[in-house]
Amino acid sequence: MDTDALKRSWAQVAAHGDAVPGYFYAHLFLAHPEVRDMFPVTMAAQRDRLVRALGRMVSNVDDVGSVVGYIQDLGRDHRKFGTLGDHYPAVGASLLATLKHFLGDRWTPELADDWAAAYGLIATTMVTAAEEAESEPANWSGEVVATERRTMDVGTITIRPDTEYAYRPGQSFAVEIPQRPRQWRYLSPTHAPREDGTMTFHVQLVAGGQVSGAMLRDVQAGDRVRLGPPIGDALTLPPDEEWPNLLLVAGGTGLAPLLAVIDQVAARHADVGYGPTVALYHGVRHPWNFYARPELEKYADAQWLIMRQAVSDDPSYPGLQGPVGDVAAADGPWDGFTAMVCGSPAMVEHATAALLRSGLDAARLRSENYEHPYSQESNEPSDPASAREVIQPGAGLGN
């Protein structure tokens, strides 16, 4: 397989911008009207979440080994849409038709074979993982039990699933609210599983976002929601092992899954009287963006937790200033610590580079930063300095 040709041809097609998803969806919905109902009611091309992901992932098939867990997660997660194995050939055919349309006479039989083989590899990985999860529900339902506005642009939503919902601290899952049917957004519980099964999320308002405003303003107690399966393990701790000391670096609401990890560590300290030391760095743009006091105050007396807050965009702030990754790196070296970084793609990239420069071993650095649906949301612009949008996550697959 000529993977350079895949990448090159995808770059040529992607240069046609919004016309590409426009063509793809017209082809797909005409050939297979039965899949239309899986997608949001309004399918503006510039809000496309699937096509750019497809092009980018399939053309990077040579890297598939390093992201196989993510692709399996994606396959399991697609069950929430109602996606079945039979739908994959339909999407594959529309992808190939789209490539052919935009490449014109550059679309050769060899290139067509390579695209088909690469798509087949990724689709098979997704379908196999989905089939293995068949005994699990495709999605879960639940009810909103409380909402709270913390700041101008951050709030919380607490839901109670109707049936048991098992997740590990640090994981995320897609949530659909009744105000925005079929527009799923990834959120992370801010705590370890609770006895009463309720789960609380932080929601960040994103300018121009389609869903975050409704989540913050319109969702209320009593609303019915649907949830996808829990996904991701980069920000989780193995349950039965000794845990390393942790350096947690969060931008904006990227704090949510890291709070869940802290909650888990706190339980271990309470249970057995010892556990890892945790250093938490939380970065925001302006002082008024610090929204997590209620969660953090619980740990005011915890000897095992060091907390630092940094502001990136306000020179008059009397505390720590600068991008949170730089602030954390400057306090290093972090020998013996495992770092978990969570925030917008820009924040994760910056913090990762800063920590590596400061001497942190790459093998000890973890983030959900590869094209991950829950580290980014394709079409809601991100706050590059700090905000992880659960609902924000910025640039989107294929950007």
Nearer to ligand HEM, 42 or 220 (CB): 42
Cα–Cα distance between 280 and 246 in angstroms, integer? 8
**Cβ-based neighbours of 296, under 8 Å, separated by 6 or more:** 282, 307
Q: Is 397 in the site for ligand HEM (CB under 6 A)?
A: yes
List binders of ligand HEM among 371-390 (CB under 6 A): 373
**CB neighbour burial string for 295-314, b if at least 16 within 10 angstroms, e if fewer:** bbeebeeeebbeebbbbbee
Which is nearest to 169 in space by CA: 78, 80, 283, 265? 265
Q: Is 64 in the site for ligand HEM (CB under 6 A)?
A: no
Cα–Cα distance between 303 and 306 in angstroms, integer? 8
Contact 329, 354 (CB under 8 A): yes
CB of 307 to ligand HEM, least distance (A): 33
CB of 332 to ligand HEM, least distance (A): 34
User: Per-residue string for binding with ligand HEM, 328-357, x by CB under 6 A?
Assistant: ------------------------------
Nearer to ligand HEM, 153 or 380 (CB): 380
Can you read off the two tokens belonging to residue 19? 């016309």
Contact 148, 291 (CB under 8 A): no
Which is nearest to 396 in space by CA: 12, 44, 41, 54? 54
Nearer to ligand HEM, 24 or 304 (CB): 24
Figure out which of the listed residues 74, 118, 324, 329 binds ligand HEM, where binding follows CB under 6 A: 74
CB of 77 to ligand HEM, least distance (A): 6
Figure out which of the listed residues 91, 159, 260, 324 binds ligand HEM, where binding follows CB under 6 A: 91
List binders of ligand HEM among 160-189 (CB under 6 A): 183-184
Contact 158, 147 (CB under 8 A): yes
Cα–Cα distance between 340 and 308 in angstroms, integer? 15
Per rule CB under 6 A, count of chain residues that contact ligand HEM? 25
Nearer to ligand HEM, 78 or 150 (CB): 78
Q: Is 52 in the site for ligand HEM (CB under 6 A)?
A: no
Nearer to ligand HEM, 254 or 373 (CB): 373
Contact 84, 76 (CB under 8 A): no
CB of 221 to ligand HEM, least distance (A): 26
82-90, 219-227, 251-259, 279-287 -> range binding ligand HEM (CB under 6 A): 82-90
Q: Is 96 in the site for ligand HEM (CB under 6 A)?
A: no
User: Sheet of 185-187: strands edge to edge?
Assistant: 185-187, 173-176, 224-227, 140-149, 154-161, 199-204
Where are the extended beta strands (E) located within 268-304?
278-284
CB of 297 to ligand HEM, least distance (A): 35
CB of 237 to ligand HEM, least distance (A): 25
Q: Is 35 in the site for ligand HEM (CB under 6 A)?
A: yes
Q: Is 126 in the site for ligand HEM (CB under 6 A)?
A: yes
**Cβ-based neighbours of 35, under 8 Å, separated by 6 or more:** 28, 29, 87, 90, 91
Sign of dihedral through CA atoms 341, 344, 345, 350?
negative
Binding site for ligand HEM (CB under 6 A): 35, 38-40, 49-50, 53-54, 57, 74, 77-78, 81, 83, 87-88, 91, 119, 122-123, 126, 183-184, 373, 397
